[in-house]
Amino acid sequence: MRGTTIATSGPVEVVLAEGADEEGFRRAVRRLIAAGIPPEQVAWTTDTPSLFGAPLPEAAPPFPLPRQAADLVRLVHCHREPERHALLYRLIWRLRHGEKRLLSNPADPLVHRLQQLAKAVRRDLHKMHAFLRFRRTVAADGAEHFVAWFEPDHFILAATAQFFVDRFRSLRWSILTPEGSLHWDGETLARGPAASRDDAPKTDDFEAGWRGYYEAAFNPARLNMRATKAEMPKKYWRNMPEAQAIPEMIRTAPSRVEAMIEREAQMPAKRDPQKAVAAMARQEPGSLEELNRIIAASEPLVPGATRAVLGEGPVGATWAFVGEQPGDQEDLAGRPFVGPAGQLLDRAMAEAGIDRREVYVTNAVKHFKFVVKGKKRIHSKPTMGEIKHYRWWLGRELDFVAPRVVVALGATAVTALAGRAMPLMANRGPTTFENRKGYITVHPSYLLRVPDPEAKAEAYARFVADLREIRGLAA
């Protein structure tokens, strides 16, 4: 039986589940320590037991491990190294038999080896967090589901689950790997069987956006293939749409450097909105795609923002909805309105009879602005200067999309579209924004924040009524 220990008075065979079986390992260690079995008498395996030996105690109480040792167990048990359990048990045995300060001696061969293994697992976790790419799929009922394929080097799938749940809590997603899969439905996490690359979508409608983003953000003058491959090993490239652009970018790097030197001479000092606007006007993009490349290559407002979040939806959309700025989830997913406010907006639109396929969504400010509090990135309101900094882009974007109605969601969008601050509630309803047919309403995140349930329901109903009126404006 998996996780069961079978013993003789001499050697003991411990059978664990394939992959990362931390619970099985901990249980076995407790029983081995309680029975006083030294490491050299233990054979660790993931095969079927060979049924020799006398029994160990059925169960044994847990005992504390120093935090550093517990961290090593947590990481090293995920490694593919077949000896990992034997090495860890040797460490625990020595810690329990008088070598309390063992881990402060990095020159000890066992400690050194375990630290190397832990480092490899940490690196694998980092790669998975950074290079996993979800592809959007749409089920028959219209529900979105994001699916990613990834091939980790080690057994890290379970160890990485909490990271993706925290990052994409309000989305439905699956992560497929050759060792198993994870499925999150917005509330619960389920483990599933191993999958193959063919089970995951190869592309989605945002693929071109990713590539465009990377091409635009790529600085040919800093091309360093060794560093690129060290940070983003080639094996990950095939799952990353933006990486498909690398060979072409390498080929054209020398000529792009020359073009950059020429452009640099015309560029304004960073963060000077007036000069930036003037310089962008000089760049005058000929298409929405070109404009998006310029936006994608621009600097974030605060360090740590992942990327510019571009508008999404068809050119010639009936309605364009303009929000404030991407939130935490939008910043990570690289798409506007995919977090809680976006989901509420989708629901309200459906209730109001607005066909989502005819909607373009974007933001007044294209980068996530936040302050870090503990482990969280907390939204921080853009200043008037920052709204103006992005305003030129928004105007060009709406020129290209040419919607029949432009909807301002919340005060920041009103400021960006009107070019000046205006009280939101007093101006709620139909308006014009520089000759565009427009409408002012509240931001969906405001509805999420109303504390009283009755007031919340009322505010939501009023929002849906606004959307009905907005639908009528396009007629």
Binding site for ligand URA (CB under 6 A): 323-327, 330, 336-337, 339, 341-342, 363, 445
CB of 343: closest distance to ligand URA in angstroms? 10
CB of 470: closest distance to ligand URA in angstroms? 17
CB of 186: closest distance to ligand URA in angstroms? 17
Q: Is residue 149 a contact partner of residue 200, using CB atoms and an 8 Å limit?
A: yes
Residue 419 falls in which region: left (phi positive, over 0), alpha (psi -120 to 50) or beta: left
- Nearer to ligand URA by Cβ, of 325 and 441: the residue is 325
Q: Is 109 exposed, middle or buried (0-12, 13-18, 19+ CB in 10 A)?
A: exposed
Q: How many CB atoms lie within 10 A of CB 37?
A: 21
H helix runs in 336-452, sequence order: 340-352, 384-401, 411-418, 424-427, 444-449
3-state secondary structure of 110: helix
CA 24 to chain centre: 31
The H-or-E segment that residue 209 falls in is: helix 207-217
- Nearer to ligand URA by Cβ, of 24 and 382: the residue is 382
| Residue 204 identity (one-letter amino acid) | D
- Nearer to ligand URA by Cβ, of 16 and 442: the residue is 442
CA atoms of 289 and 286, how far apart (whole Å): 8
CB of 426: closest distance to ligand URA in angstroms? 21
CA atoms of 290 and 283, how far apart (whole Å): 10
CB of 129: closest distance to ligand URA in angstroms? 22
CB of 277: closest distance to ligand URA in angstroms? 22
- Nearer to ligand URA by Cβ, of 177 and 325: the residue is 325
CB of 412: closest distance to ligand URA in angstroms? 7
CA atoms of 273 and 271, how far apart (whole Å): 6
- Nearer to ligand URA by Cβ, of 209 and 327: the residue is 327
- Nearer to ligand URA by Cβ, of 27 and 391: the residue is 391
CA atoms of 319 and 468, how far apart (whole Å): 12
The span from the first CA to the last CA of the chain, in angstroms, equals 68
CB of 381: closest distance to ligand URA in angstroms? 11
H helix runs in 267-383, sequence order: 273-283, 288-296, 328-333, 340-352
CB of 368: closest distance to ligand URA in angstroms? 9
- Nearer to ligand URA by Cβ, of 5 and 445: the residue is 445
Looking at beta carbons, which residue is closest to ligand URA? 323
Counting every residue written for the chain, the total comes to 475
CB of 367: closest distance to ligand URA in angstroms? 11
CA 205 to chain centre: 18
| DSSP code string of 450-462 | --SHHHHHHHHHH
- Nearer to ligand URA by Cβ, of 243 and 310: the residue is 310
- Nearer to ligand URA by Cβ, of 160 and 298: the residue is 298
CB of 328: closest distance to ligand URA in angstroms? 9
User: In this structure, what token pair is assigned to residue 183?
Assistant: 């499925």
- Nearer to ligand URA by Cβ, of 113 and 172: the residue is 172
CA atoms of 73 and 91, how far apart (whole Å): 10
- Nearer to ligand URA by Cβ, of 325 and 415: the residue is 325
CA atoms of 362 and 358, how far apart (whole Å): 13
User: In this structure, what token pair is assigned to residue 330?
Assistant: 């939008």
CA angle 436, 358, 368 (to 5 degrees): 75
Q: Is 296 exposed, middle or buried (0-12, 13-18, 19+ CB in 10 A)?
A: buried
